[in-house]
A = this chain, B = another copy of it.
Amino acid sequence: MPSNFKNRRWVLVSYPETLPEEKNFRLDIEPQVQDLKENEILVQASYLSVDPYMRGRISPAKGYTPGVELEGLMPAGGVGEIIESRSSQFAAGDQVVLENFGWQEYTVAEADVANKVDTNIAPIQSYLSYLGMPGLTAYFGLFEVANVKPQDCVVVSAASGAVGQMVGQLAKAHGCRVIAIASSNQKINWCKEIGYDEGINYKEVENLSDELRAICPDGVDVYFDNTGGVINDAIMENLSLNARIAICGVVSLADKIGKPDIGPRYFRQILVARARVQGFLVFDFIDCYPEARSHIRNLISDSNFKFKEDIADGIESMASSFIQLLKSQNFGKKLIKI
């Protein structure tokens, strides 16, 4: 292990009450990374992933995984190069992806949670986006949860985000009509470039429900929900018979986690449409990752496949990038290049 290197890492200082601010985090310098035990590897990050789910982890409210403790390392997926290995599975120089890298420049991990990546298929950071969790999330939400069928009218919120870009392209390739909802005209234009049939900038329409009705006169068959909130309201007013709603994320609630989200309830609409609303988490489908990866590799081998990344530089930009993401100020998959 190089003796002169220092690890910089972000810890949680306080739980945000509404939207996180930089003061909720602190960038620490760790003078010495711990020594490797048998079967461990030391990895230097080349890219870290910034994702909306991190908001759920920094709240005392119940989440699907335990939250981050105060003074604890913030969680993030990461890709990078092995600096040192005490595992027979890996050698120094190997490129790997780790779901649990953390907001830091280096990590020591058990070898069995690392996966080698093949950078001949796609650039290394793709294993944090379309070849990683966001790609798998899009696949399972669409095919397993929403049970999408060709000809379905599929609406996607946060459509230009990491998951949304994949949902749109997967659904389009499956023969669906695909509608993007996003927060700027620039994002909508990008969505159309990658294959979305229509797009709505929800910040510029007077009435999202009316707009949606005009674009989907026969109703929404599948809604891939990355946001929650008022966008969902508009969908619920436009359900087709047997509509399926896959709840993937609720980033619109980033400023009120643990507090009630007051708005219209839609039990009657769900009943009348005999609709199905289902929350899901990609890890529930771990047994089916191989089939999903094969499907995605097939999709990206098409010359029309496109994917936008929004890359910030250096570990010091992690907290501000995360806050930007929660404010929809990113454009494409948010990554930090280390």
A contact set with B: CB distance below 8 Å:
56, 62-64, 225, 228-229, 232, 247-250, 253, 257, 260-268, 270-281, 284
- Could you tell me if A262 and B261 are in contact, using CB atoms closer than 8 angstroms? no
A261-B270 contact, Cβ under 8 Å, with A276-B276, A276-B277, A277-B278? no
Q: Per a CB cutoff under 8 Å, which of B253, B261, B262, B274 touches A281?
A: B274
Minimum distance in angstroms from A220 CB to a CB of chain B:
14
> What B residues does A257 contact at CB under 8 A?
268
- Could you tell me if A264 and B261 are in contact, using CB atoms closer than 8 angstroms? yes
Interface of A is mostly: mixed
- Could you tell me if A277 and B274 are in contact, using CB atoms closer than 8 angstroms? no
For the A-B complex with A261-B268, A262-B265, A275-B279 known, give 5 more contacts whose Cβ atoms are closer than 8 Å. Answer: A63-B272, A232-B267, A262-B262, A264-B265, A271-B280
Q: Would you list the 9 A-B pairs with minimal beta carbon distance, nearest first? A: A271-B279, A228-B267, A270-B279, A277-B277, A276-B278, A260-B264, A261-B265, A250-B268, A247-B271
Q: List 6 A-B contacts (CB under 8 A).
A: A62-B272, A229-B265, A270-B278, A274-B278, A275-B278, A276-B277
Minimum distance in angstroms from A286 CB to a CB of chain B:
13
CA distance A249 to B277 in the complex (A): 16
CA distance A229 to B266 in the complex (A): 10
Most buried by B among A64, A253, A265: A265
CA distance A330 to B23 in the complex (A): 58
Nearest B residue to A64 via CB reads B272
> What B residues does A279 contact at CB under 8 A?
267, 270-276
CA distance A178 to B37 in the complex (A): 51
CA distance A278 to B64 in the complex (A): 21
Nearest B residue to A278 via CB reads B276
CA distance A20 to B180 in the complex (A): 42
> What B residues does A281 contact at CB under 8 A?
271, 274
Most buried by B among A56, A225, A276, A281: A276
